[in-house]
Structure 1
Amino acid sequence: MLTTAPYLRTRRPSPTTAEFIVSTLPPMTVPLRLALGAIYFLRLVAALGILLLLFSAWTQDSYSYSTPLTTAAVEPPLFSVAYIQHLLRLLLTSRPGSLFPFIASAIPPWILVPASLGALYSLSLRIGNEERLLVLRGLGVQTSTGGRTVFHPLQTRFIPTENVGDVLVNEAFRGFGVRHYLVVVVRGEDRLVVVFPKLLPRLDDVVRVLEGARECLYGGGGGEKNGHVEKGKMTTVQSTQRCQSQ
C-alpha cells in the first residue's frame, strides 16, 4: 500500500536539534519512490488529457474567440498564445487526438465542465501527508503542515524561543471520544498553536514528541514544567473545546 496509518519518525542531527515527523507514507524505499513517480506521471498525463478535452469543447463553441491558425508564410512567436493554440490544434487533428472532439461534442457542457474540474481536483490530491515539528534549542520551534493538493505550498510557522511559553498536551472532545494533541503556548497570543493538526497522532506518539521537544528546548531541566510525563502518568491541560467528528 502507498499509505499507512499515521506514525512517528524522529531525527536528532545534534543534541540541540530534533525533528519529529508524523507521516502517512511508508519509509521511502526505491520501489515506493518509483511507484509514486509513476502514479504522479500518469496523473499528469490524465490532467493534460482533460485540459485538451476542455480545449476541444471550447473550440467547438461558435461564440469562442480563437486566434486564427498560422499560415505557411507566418509562424507564430514561440511560446505565444497563438503558438500554444497551434500545437493544441495539431494534437486534435492527429489520429489519437481526434477522439477528444468526438467526446466533447457528445457530452453537454453543463456536465463536461463540472466533471472535468472535479477530475482535475482529484488528480491534484497528494498521496499521503506529512506534518513536522522542528525544535532548535536557543532559536525556537517550527511547525510544518503539507497542503491537501500538490498546488498548496507547505504551511510553516516559526516561533522564536523567547515567544515559546511552553509545550503541552491538550485534550478535546471529538465526537464521543477524547483526543489528545500537542500544543505550543505562544506568549502574547490567545490561541494555542496545534502541532500535527491534521493527522492527530496517537497518544503515545504525542507523549514521545512532548518529551523529546521539551528535552531539546530546556535541556535536562525541562521536565520540571507542566505537561510532561512523570512515572508513566501524564499531566494534561484540559480544554473545553469540542471537536466535531469527521
Structure 2
Amino acid sequence: MPVRLLSRRPSPTTVSFTVSNASRRTSTPARILSLFQFLLRALIFLLVHIIDTAKLRHSFFQGDGPFLPWSTIWATPGGALACRIADAYSYGFIAVASTVLIYGVFRKGYTEESLLVIRGLGIQTSTSSSTYLSKASTRFIPTTQIQDIVIHEAFKGFEVRFYLALIVEGEPDVVVVFPKLLPNRAILEEVWRGSRRCLYDSKS
C-alpha cells in the first residue's frame, strides 16, 4: 500500500508527522467495505467462541448454567452445527485454528509511525503494533541528547532506500525514524525540514 504523510502543528514549538499505509475511507464504497470488514471480524470472533464452547460442553457447559441455558442453545440449529464441527476435530486442531483466527480478527493490517518534535524538550518516535490488543512502541529522546537529524541512504535487497535518522549522543547507532514503512525521499525531506525548523529555528 502507498504511504502517505499527515503533518500537524498544534503550536509554534510543536510539530507532529505521521506516516501510514492504511487505506483511505473517505468515499462511500470504502466506508461500506470498512463496515463489512468489521462485521466479518465480529462474526468470526463469535463463531470461534461458540465452537470452542461446544468443544468443552461435556466438561463445563452442560445443562442450564447460571446465565445461559446451554442445553437449549445446543439444541438450536446453530448450536447443533457448532457441536458437529467441534466433534469432528481434535482439541489440538481446534486450539490452533482458534488462535490463528483470533489473531486474524485482531490484526490491524496496516502500520502507522509518527514523529513528535517539541522544541526545548525533545523528540518522541512511535510505531503502531500489529494488533489491536497491544500498544504502540514509543521512545522519547531529550533535546540535550540529539546531535543532528539526517537523511541517510542504504541498500535494502537490490535497491537503494533513504531513511531519516537521529544521531543521539552516547549511542553507537543512529535511531531510524519510520523504520517499518521507510517512506520515500520526498516525504523524508518534508519531515526533515519541518523537524529541524521546529528544533533549531529559535537558535538561529
Q: TM-score, normalised by structure 1?
A: 0.72
SS at match of 1:212: helix
Deviation at 1:108, TM superposition (A): 3.2
1:163 lines up with 2:148 in the alignment = no
Q: Which residue number in structure 1 is paired with residue 34 of structure 2?
A: 36
Deviation at 1:182, TM superposition (A): 0.9
SS at match of 1:96: helix
Deviates more, 1:124-133 or 1:110-119: 110-119
Deviation at 1:7, TM superposition (A): 1.5
Query: Measured at CA, do residues 91 and 42 of structure 1 come closer, stay the same or move farther in structure 2, by a change above 3 Å?
Result: farther
Distance 2:89 2:116 in 1: 50
Query: Aligned to 1:124, which of 102, 106, 110?
Result: 106
Asked whether the 8 Å contact 1:7–1:23 carries over to 2, the reply is yes
SS at match of 2:140: strand
What is the percentage of aligned positions where both structures have the same residue?
A: 36
**What residue identity is the alignment partner of 2:141?**
I
1:99 lines up with 2:81 in the alignment = yes
Distance 2:71 2:115 in 1: 49
Query: Aligned to 2:191, which of 177, 190, 209?
Result: 209
Distance 1:149 1:114 in 2: 18
Distance 2:199 2:138 in 1: 19
Asked whether the 8 Å contact 2:113–2:126 carries over to 1, the reply is yes
Q: Which residue number in structure 2 is paired with residue 16 of structure 1?
A: 13
Q: Which residue number in structure 2 is paired with residue 109 of structure 1?
A: 91
Deviation at 1:90, TM superposition (A): 5.2
Query: Measured at CA, do residues 40 and 208 of structure 1 come closer, stay the same or move farther in structure 2, by a change above 3 Å?
Result: same
Asked whether the 8 Å contact 1:52–1:88 carries over to 2, the reply is no
**What residue identity is the alignment partner of 2:56?**
W
Asked whether the 8 Å contact 1:8–1:23 carries over to 2, the reply is yes
1:151 lines up with 2:133 in the alignment = yes
Gaps of at least 5 residues in structure 1 are: 77-82, 223-246
Distance 2:25 2:48 in 1: 30
Distance 2:125 2:63 in 1: 51
Query: Measured at CA, do residues 138 and 34 of structure 1 come closer, stay the same or move farther in structure 2, by a change above 3 Å?
Result: farther
Deviation at 1:215, TM superposition (A): 0.9
Asked whether the 8 Å contact 2:62–2:71 carries over to 1, the reply is no
Deviation at 1:91, TM superposition (A): 3.8
Deviates more, 1:7-16 or 1:195-204: 7-16
Between structure 1 and structure 2, the one with the greater Rg is: 1
Asked whether the 8 Å contact 2:44–2:101 carries over to 1, the reply is no
Q: Which residue number in structure 1 is paired with residue 50 of structure 2?
A: 52
Distance 1:27 1:94 in 2: 41
C-alpha deviations, 1:115-134, integer Å up to 9, x for none?
22111111211042211111
SS at match of 1:42: helix
1:184 lines up with 2:166 in the alignment = yes
Q: TM-score, normalised by structure 2?
A: 0.85
RMSD over aligned Cα atoms? 2.5
Asked whether the 8 Å contact 1:11–1:18 carries over to 2, the reply is yes
